[in-house]
Structures are given as structure tokens and as C-alpha cells.
Amino acid sequence: MMAGYPPLTASPAWNALASHHSKVGDLHLRKLFADDPKRGERMAVEAAGIYLDYSKNRIVDETLTLLLRLADDCGLRARIDAMFSGEKINITENRAVLHVALRAPKEASIVVDGNNVVPDVHAVLDRMTDFSNQVRSGAWIGYTGKRIQNIVNIGIGGSDLGPVMAYEALKAYGDPALTFRFVSNIDGTDFAEATRDLDPAETLFIVSSKTFTTLETMTNAESAREWTLKGLGGDVSAVAKHFVAVSTNALKVSEFGIDVANIFGFWDWVGGRYSLCGAIGLSTMLAIGPRNFRSMLEGFHEIDEHFRTTPFERNLPVLMGLMAVWYNDFFGAETVAILPYEQYLKRFPAYLQQLTMESNGKHVTLDGKQVNYSTGPIYWGEPGTNGQHSFYQLIHQGTRFIPCDFIAFVETLNPVGRHHDILVANVLAQSEALAFGRTADQVKTEDTPDWLVPHRVFEGNRPSNTILLGRLTPNALGKLVALYEHSVFTQGAIWHIDSFDQWGVELGKVLAQRIIPELQSIAKPKLQHDSSTNALIARYRKLRNQ
């Protein structure tokens, strides 16, 4: 599949971009703005309530023309159509990639293996709705007759990061009577701290795992079952009242002892990191209520449609994805900073790390050939303005080139005093400072002694996108996440990689399974690793007196 494309670096648009970069790569944003007084208005697109200002990027009009040509050369249009029509574009796992079906309206039809999956999606959404209503209203009661007050999601990776991010992002829409916790790490501290102050009689666990085999999740789920049974007198029938599961693996769920009636299913065509809109979002729905959850899905869907149908030159995710490729492959940028000026989005960078890096951290093309260009950059970030007082120094004056995405909202959900205008002034100031900097001449006019001038110079010409939305609603969150999902898709299509598998996480899992008994066995194990790993295992055993 897709083997018909020439190697990326041989494509005419790629080569045109390389020589274009040698001509325009050093142009300063100061000059680009001075030469075109309307640049800041011209290089902006608004769609679905998202305003993307991309004018502070190191591009000229021709850059975009060439990037759009690259998208055509790489068959982006066909790739998008293939995804939306349910083709098995995740070729290494022979799976369709249909997170877009999770937010498709009821009347839509998306066929996988001859079956329209949309009715199945809505059947699960309806069950989630019914369950959420029962828990939120107090109709669902625990084993001892008490109502559920605490909800603990147990999952990791995509079965955790989406739920945590969305819970934090939409806290303002949550039911304050319910307490939510998220347990992911195999480190027992995570479970212990999450449950320390909870009453088992009032606690519901959602065991979220696509495969229902993930070591961390299964170990935490077992501890949760023990904790529940210990707290409730040991009657195993209590499990049915205090555990539900979200999984594609009904057999494993029932082996664990969770009632099949309490399984919320999804499908192999939903990747873990793309699963928030389905049953993995159960904790989100419980927190914000079914109506808000559906509004979030509508937000996702609006951007899905925008991505699917809008010409590329006005297509937000396509533009963002192409600019990411421009920096990654032609400027050699190693990273992208995600800087939300919205405290509720504090887990958004962590969420994007899995989305972007598990998707596009690949070293071979779809046809298995080693790439000779860089693929997925490192995504990282923190909310503003906190980051300004920590790592922004390096972005402004360090030796690295770090494109930034600033995310801001016109309205705050907490209108406290003057805070919001100050917050927004800061985000605008940061992108301005990064782009235009401060020259030595400017610094000298401020009575700076000569020796200090170089320290106070800001080179500028450090690029950024500014993404501006109205207000952080469930709907807006859906749009924002979908924007990045499809930007990731765009990047993966250009790099001609499988953005939907994650073989890179397997080896460590296998090796850990071999080491666990070597740490635990009473008899001294015969260690056959490298000398470093052998010595570390021996030392651990010795210090634990084994």
C-alpha cells in the first residue's frame, strides 16, 4: 500500500523546498513584516471558531505554495479520503483508522469490512449516557447502598492521558459533588495516593484498557479489587457495583471478574491515543455530563469536516502540519513547544506528547524503508505564564530553534479582577518578543553599558503560531484536539509513515516481563543480560536482601 510514491526526498516539491529554504530561510520576521504591513491579517485563517495566526512563521507566500505542492505530491488528499472511508491505512496492524467515526452524527455511514459502524458507536454512547445519568443522579448505588461519590479511572497511555486532560480542561463543567482520580503508573504510589482518602463504599473504578492486558492497568486493577473487597467485607459480588470496564476485549474483562453488563466497548479501528471520544471518555462524560460530552463530540466533528472538505490553503490542520514539516525537515528543528495560556489546559501538552510522538516517532516508511529525513519532532510545554519564568529564557536567547504554538482564549471561565487581560497581554507579548526581538541599537538607547549589550540582545526571528479561541467549552476542546490530531495526520502523510501503530513500545514491555521474576525469585537467578543490566539486578536484589 502507498508503495507507488517516490521517495520523499526525491519529490520535486521537496527539492524545491530545499532550495527555497536556502534562499528564504534566513529572512528575518522583522523584514517580512516591514515589507508587508498587512502580513499579520493576511496570514491568518479562521474556521469553526478557531483563529490561527501563522504570520509569525519563517515563511513567505512561495513557501506555502511549495508546501501545498508537497502535500499534493505526497497524496495527502487521497490519504484523508482513505482514512474517512474506513480503508485500512494502519497497514502494520491491518486496521482502519476511524476515530472520526466516534464523533460522526447518527445519520452518517462509515463502513468497515462491510459494516456501517456509526450505529454501533451511537449504541455505546447511549449506554454511556444511561450509565452516567444513573451515577450522577445517585440511582447507581454501591454494594452497601451508598451512592457513588468517587470515580477512579485506571488506565495508561491513551486510556489515561485523554481522560485526565479532558477532566482537567473541563473542570469548570464538572459536578463538584463527584471526586475524580486517575491512576496510571505501575508505581504503587499512584494507586495509594489516589485512594488514600476514599471510602470503598462510595468509589467506582473504571478500568480502561483497549487490550485489557496492559501490565500497569491490570496490576492497578487487581490492587483496586483487593482494596474494594477488603473495605467492603470480601464479598466478590461487590465488584459488580464498583467496577466497570472500557475495552475491546470482553473476554479478558469477564475473566477479571467484571460483569459483562458493565463493559463499554470500542473497536480495533480506534487507536489508544485517539480514543477519547469513545468509551474511554466515560470518566469525562461522568464528570461533565452527557450533554456536554456530546457537545465536545460536535466540536471534534466540526474540525473533522473542516479537515476533510476545506481546500488545503485554508485548512487549519493541514497548514499547521505543513509548517511543522517545514521546520522539522528544512530548519532542523528538534522540538515544538506547546504553550497554552489557559490553566485548565495544564495537561494538554502531556496529552499531545502521546498523540504526536507515539504517532510520528517512526524510522521507516510505510513500505518499510529507512527514512533519510527527520520525522516527528519532540512536543513539550507548560501553561503560560508559568513557563515564562522557567524555560522561556532558552526559547528567547538560547542556541536552539524552537517553533512555538501559543494557545489562548478571548474569554476566561474565571473572571477574577484584571487577570485575564494580563494573561492575554503576556501571550501576545511573548510571540511579539520571539518574532521581533530587540536589536543592539535598541538596547543601547536604554542606557545599557556596552559590555551588557550582547546579553540583552534578543535575536528574534523565532517562529510561532497563535491559536485563538473564544472560550474553553467542551465544544472548543473537541475542536482543539481534533486540530492537532489532523495536523499529526498531515505530518505522517508527508513523511509517508504509519502514524497509527506503536511498535516502539513493545521491546521494553517484553524485557520487563523477563526481569520481573529475576527480581522476585527466591533462588538466585542466572542472569544473562548485558553486564550493566546484570549488575543492576544483582545490586537491587542484594540491597533488598535477596
Task: Point out the residues that are catalytic.
Answer: 358, 389, 509
144 or 211, CB closer to ligand F6P? 211
- Decide: is 340 part of the binding site for ligand F6P (CB under 6 A): no
Distance CA 429, CA 438 (A): 13
Question: Which helix (H) or strand (E) is 44 found in, with range?
Answer: strand 44-47
User: What's the longest Cα–Cα distance across the chain?
Assistant: 78
- Decide: is 505 part of the binding site for ligand F6P (CB under 6 A): yes
- Decide: is 63 part of the binding site for ligand F6P (CB under 6 A): no
54 or 351, CB closer to ligand F6P? 351
The three three-digit cell numbers of residue 323, written as one number: 509548517
209 or 356, CB closer to ligand F6P? 209
93 or 202, CB closer to ligand F6P? 93
Among residues 310, 383, 388, the alpha carbon closest in space to that of 352 is found at 383
Contact 30/460 with Cβ under 8 angstroms? yes
Question: Which helix (H) or strand (E) is 116 found in, with range?
Answer: strand 115-116
Among residues 354, 301, 323, the alpha carbon closest in space to that of 64 is found at 323
Query: Which amino acid, residue 110?
Result: I
Provide the sign of the torsion angle of the four alpha carbons 6, 8, 10, 13, taken in this order: positive
Query: Which amino acid, residue 52?
Result: L
Q: Which of 272, 384, 387, 403 is the binder for ligand F6P (CB under 6 A)?
A: 272
- Hey, which bits of 325-443 come out as E strands? 335-340, 378-380, 404-409
Place of cell 494557545: 407
210 or 396, CB closer to ligand F6P? 210
Q: How far is the CB of 93 from ligand F6P (least distance, A)?
A: 11
Q: Which of 90, 228, 475, 502 is the binder for ligand F6P (CB under 6 A)?
A: 502
DSSP state of 148: P
Distance CA 429, CA 85 (A): 43
- How many residues at the interface with ligand F6P, by CB under 6 A? 14
217 or 487, CB closer to ligand F6P? 217
Distance CA 176, CA 292 (A): 15
3-state secondary structure of 196: coil
Site for ligand F6P in 237-256 (CB under 6 A): none
Q: Which of 181, 210, 347, 496 is the binder for ligand F6P (CB under 6 A)?
A: 210
Site for ligand F6P in 150-169 (CB under 6 A): 156-159
214 or 315, CB closer to ligand F6P? 214
- Closest residue to ligand F6P using C-beta atoms: 272
- Decide: is 133 part of the binding site for ligand F6P (CB under 6 A): no
- Decide: is 381 part of the binding site for ligand F6P (CB under 6 A): no
- Decide: is 273 part of the binding site for ligand F6P (CB under 6 A): yes
Among residues 335, 304, 324, the alpha carbon closest in space to that of 481 is found at 304
- Decide: is 335 part of the binding site for ligand F6P (CB under 6 A): no
The C-alpha angle 118, 120, 122, rounded to 5 degrees, equals 70
359 or 385, CB closer to ligand F6P? 359
Annotate 165-183 with DSSP letters as a single string. HHHHHTGGGS-TTSEEEEE
- Decide: is 217 part of the binding site for ligand F6P (CB under 6 A): yes
Q: Which of 214, 284, 465, 475 is the binder for ligand F6P (CB under 6 A)?
A: 214
Q: How far is the CB of 456 from ligand F6P (least distance, A)?
A: 46
Q: How far is the CB of 360 from ligand F6P (least distance, A)?
A: 13
Residue window 355-374: x/- pattern of binding to ligand F6P, with contact defined by CB under 6 A: ---x----------------
Write the burial class of residue 236 (CB in 10 Å: 0-12 exposed, 13-18 middle, 19+ buried): exposed
Among residues 282, 285, 260, the alpha carbon closest in space to that of 155 is found at 282
Chain contacts with ligand F6P (rule: CB under 6 A) = 156-159, 209-211, 214, 217, 272-273, 358, 502, 505
